[in-house]
Amino acid sequence: MSPIAVVFKKEMREILRDRRTLMAIGLAALATPIVLFVISQVSTKTASQAYTVGYSGTVPAGLDTLFNAVGLKLERVDDPAAAAKHQVDIGVAFSASGVDEYLDPTRQSAQLADVRFQTVLSRYDAAKVAASLQEKGVDPSVLNPLPVMLHPLSSPSQAVGNSFLSFFLPYILITMSLTGGLSAALDTSAGERERKTLESLLLTPAPRSQVLVGKILAVSSISLVAALASIVSMLVALSQVRFGGNGGQSFEVQLSPLAATVMVWLAVLLAASFSSLTITLGTLARNFRQGQAYATPLYFITIFPASIVLFIPDFNPNLAYYLIPILNAVLVLRDAITHNSVAWDTLAVTSLSLILTGALCFYAALKLFTREALLVRS
Amino acid sequence: MTQAAVKVDRLEKTLGSNKVLRGITFEAHSGEIFGLLGPNGAGKTTTLRVICTLLAPDSGSVEVLGYDTRVSPQEVRRRVGVVTAEIGIYPRLSARENIAYFAELTGVLNGEVKRRVDGVIDRLDMGSFAEQRAESLSSGQKQKVAIARAIVHDPPVLMFDEPTSNLDVLASREIREFMVESKDRGKSVIFSTHVLHDAERLCDRLTIIHQGRVVASGATAEVRGAFKDLEDSFLSLVEAAG
């Protein structure tokens, strides 16, 4: 058996007996469904929540029925402005000249009640205008001289699902590729030094490059398993939960074969790169705790690229941006999910960039692994 | 005359800004226990690390069974087994798995690994705890695992660096008996220690190092000379060397 296989086998055996790593993978797989379930419950509760409208004056005929239908409860008050501060969600004063609405924008319940209130009023206004026109023999469609007919080319629920996936899937893929194997990476690098096993290991005639490859392969495998387990659990959870109650928005979650293939390929590259990087950091560290401190900034690296997709959904950079590791993976995966297509030039540049990153990290780890200072420091 | 297994010739080594070794020269032979004595910081561990190729010499040379450590480090590592005071073993592996891992890494053939591992487990009387995870073993048992992994590839040169410093009396005695047994099997045993009583009882020949220099070398009786014991001789030599 080659030293690579010997080290890989031993590392896997140790990792699978390490509660920290197993718990990290288990929690990662469970965390997404739990978070989605909580969001679903909160959105359901919000959708069915009734809000109170404190009013004065006379409610126009029929409007009270419309308010009731959307969960707005009317309550007569003396001063709607004063009541809107604490007593009710929004205050409304009906008068002959129109409607005065009072709300405190810092209260979320006021904002939600306002949205419903405005929707009802706009429908009421439109219905009133249409009725008046019809009474006078005028076709109400004159108010809409250029009607628009919308023809969606995919189901709206799938669009919502894709939009959701294009943010969460790259985020989870990157985060889990990093954190899923982090404990194992630090254990196999900083841990060797801390346990005083490093010297014995380096005393064997096994080439150090092969020892390192065995370690990176083992950590990469665990990272990959953690990332894929989290994504599968997220997809299953998304297909089961509904958002906004029974009549609310559901996601149609479909990961196309192309997107799934791209995702697995990127997961392999990310896992290998992150494993090399974290083992390098762990080799620099004197012990496990110091290794964790060195690795902490990496968490931010995983958050920023995914955030770009969230905050700039139409971010379409030129090819040079695909040289930036991690950001490139986010962008390629976003395109594969939302458009079900992959530009091969961006995928090639992304793959090259991630492979080079992994190779550089491997080289750095190997350099550290063969330095006398490694032993002297220990 | 026994065969020279390890030849150290005018060895010099600087670590950082500290010149640790300043021309160390000695030979250790097969079938003997060779003592490397000196106070803490004298350069004993650094010397052993250069011999087993973990550190490269700045000048001078080291040969193990004819292989130069700079030219053929892999060949040297195949022929050396090292036991240190710091018993580093993998806690989540069993004693047997720890030994087998090092057997495979030192090039023991696949079909041979089990036989070799069983052999050292028998030889060191480890049968009662061989399947236990290392994290649950006592210090003495862990030291046995460390010895077993160092000898599982049957190296002709064995180096012990302060092997008894963390052990109780019984475990220390077992280590000493093992060194004698290894010598009787024809191994070259290099024993680094500052416990002069152990050295006097065990070593056939020895070298005393102080501040990176050899201050005395020869058969144990010669180095002791006219003094009552090795400790008096050692103190006299070290004081004379400044």
Would A198 be classed as within a structural domain?
yes
Q: Are residues A201 and A332 in the same domain?
A: yes
Give chain A as a 3 state SS string.
CCHHHHHHHHHHHHHHCCHHHHHHHHHHHHHHHHHHHHHHHHHHHHHHCCEEEEEECCCCCCHHHHHHHCCEEEEECCCHHHHCCCCCCEEEEEECCEEEEECCCCCHHHHHHHHHHHHHHHHHHHHHHHHHHHHCCCCHHHHCCCCCCCCCCCCHHHHHHHHHHHHHHHHHHHHHHHHCCHHHHHHHCHHHHHCCCHHHHHHCCCCHHHHHHHHHHHHHHHHHHHHHHHHHHHHHHHHHCEECCCCCEECCCCCCHHHHHHHHHHHHHHHHHHHHHHHHHHHHCCCHHHHHHHHHHHHHHHHHHHHHHHHCCCCCCCHHHHHCCCHHHHHHHHHHHHCCCCCHHHHHHHHHHHHHHHHHHHHHHHHHHCCHHHHHHC
Chain B within 8 Å of A371 (Cβ-Cβ)? no
Does the distance separating the beta carbons of B97 and A13 come in below 8 Å?
yes
B104 touches chain A (CB under 8 A): yes
Portion of chain A with pLDDT greater than 90, in percent: 35
Q: Are residues A232 and A336 in the same domain?
A: yes
The pLDDT value given to residue A245: 52
pTM for the full predicted model: 0.81
Q: Let me know whether A334 and A221 are in one domain.
A: yes
Is residue B18 scored above 60 in pLDDT? Answer: yes
ipTM reported for the complex, 2 dp: 0.87
A242-261 pLDDT, tens digit per residue, is: 665 555 555 666 678 888 88
B93 to chain A: nearest residue by CA? A14
Report in angstroms the alpha-carbon separations of A301 from A274, A351, B117. Answer: 11, 18, 46
Within a domain: A150: no
pLDDT confidence of residue A233: 86
Q: Are A301 and A371 in the same domain?
A: yes
A157 band by pLDDT with thresholds 50, 70 and 90: low
How does residue B104 score in pLDDT terms, banded at 50, 70 and 90? Answer: very high
A188 is written with which tokens? Answer: 């196999």
pLDDT above 50 for B1:
no
Based on the fold, state whether residues A209 and A244 are members of the same structural domain.
yes
Q: Which residues of B touch A197 (CB under 8 A)?
A: 88-90
> Contact, B136 vs B19, CB < 8 A?
no
Kindly report, residue by residue over A293-336, the tens digit of the pLDDT. Answer: 998 888 887 777 777 766 776 777 888 989 998 889 888 888 88
Q: How far apart are CA B93 and CA B100, in angstroms?
A: 10
In this predicted structure, what is the pLDDT of residue A377? 57
Domain that holds residue A222: 3-35+157-377
- Average pLDDT taken over every residue of chain A: 86
Check which CATH number belongs to the domain holding A126 and give it.
3.40.190
Q: How many CB pairs under 8 A join A and B?
A: 75
Asked if B92 is an interface residue toward chain A (Cβ–Cβ < 8 A), one would say yes
On chain A, the residues whose CB falls within 8 A of the CB of B56 are: 372
B56-100 pLDDT per residue, tens:
999 999 999 999 999 999 999 999 999 887 778 999 999 999 999
B102 Cβ under 8 Å from any chain A Cβ: yes
User: B74: distance to nearest CA of chain A, Å?
Assistant: 5
Q: Which of A1, A203, A211 sits opposite B77 (nearest CB)?
A: A203
Task: Inspect the interface and report whether the beta carbons of A203 and B82 lie closer than 8 Å.
Answer: yes
A235/A161 same-domain check: yes
A178 lies in the same domain as A222: yes
CB-based contact A198 B88, cutoff 8 Å: yes
Q: What is the pLDDT of residue A244?
A: 58
Evaluate whether residue A149 is within a structural domain: no
Confidence check: pLDDT of A339 > 80: no
10 Å Cβ neighbour count for B125? Answer: 10
Average pLDDT over residues A195-216: 91
Kindly list the residues from chain A whose CB atom is less than 8 angstroms away from the CB atom of residue B90: 10, 14, 195, 197
Cβ of B89 within 8 Å of Cβ of A197? The answer is: yes
Domain count within chain A: 2
Residue to mutate among A2, A203, A369, with most B CBs inside 10 A, is A203
Single residue among A113, A141, A169 that ends a domain in this structure: A141
A231 pLDDT more than 60: yes
Is the residue at A130 inside a domain?
Answer: yes
Tell me the two tokens of residue A242.
Answer: 């509904």
Same domain, A172 and A127: no
Residues of chain B contacting residue A198, judged by C-beta atoms under 8 Å apart:
88
Helix (H) or strand (E) holding B23: strand B18-29
Question: Does residue A376 surpass a pLDDT of 70?
Answer: no
Whether residue A161 is found in the same domain as residue A119: no
Q: Are residues A132 and A172 in the same domain?
A: no
What integer pLDDT is reported at residue A33 of this predicted model?
82
Contact between chains at A203 and B52 (C-beta distance less than 8 A): yes
The verdict on residue A349 lying in a domain is: yes
- Residues A202 and A80 both lie in one domain: no
Q: Which fold has domain B4-79+156-241?
A: Rossmann fold (3.40.50)
Q: Are the beta carbons of A372 and B54 separated by less than 8 Å?
A: yes
Q: Are residues A111 and A221 in the same domain?
A: no
Instruction: Map residue B139 onto helix, strand or coil.
Output: helix
Q: How close B55 comes to chain A (CA, Å)?
A: 6
Assess if residue A44 is contained within a domain: no
Question: 3-state class of B238 per DSSP?
Answer: helix
**CB interface of B with A, residues 31-90, below 8 Å:** 49, 52-56, 74-75, 77-78, 80, 82, 84, 86-90
A368 CA: distance to closest CA in chain B (Å): 14
Domain boundaries, chain B: 4-79+156-241, 88-154
Of A7, A17, A202, the CB nearest to B54: A202
Alpha-carbon distance of A222 to B17, in angstroms, equals 42
Beta-strand relationship, A51-56 and A72-76: parallel
Residue with tokens 């892999």: B74
pLDDT in tens, A22-65: 887 888 788 878 887 887 777 777 777 889 999 999 998 888 88
Partner residue facing A206 (CB), from B84, B105, B110: B105
Mean of per-residue pLDDT scores for chain B: 89
Do B90 and A197 count as a contact with CB atoms less than 8 A apart? Answer: yes
CB contact under 8 A, A196 and B87: yes
Within a domain: A43: no
Question: Is the pLDDT score of A220 beyond 90?
Answer: yes
Condensed to tens digits (0 to 9), the pLDDT of residues A167-190 reads: 778 888 888 888 888 989 999 999
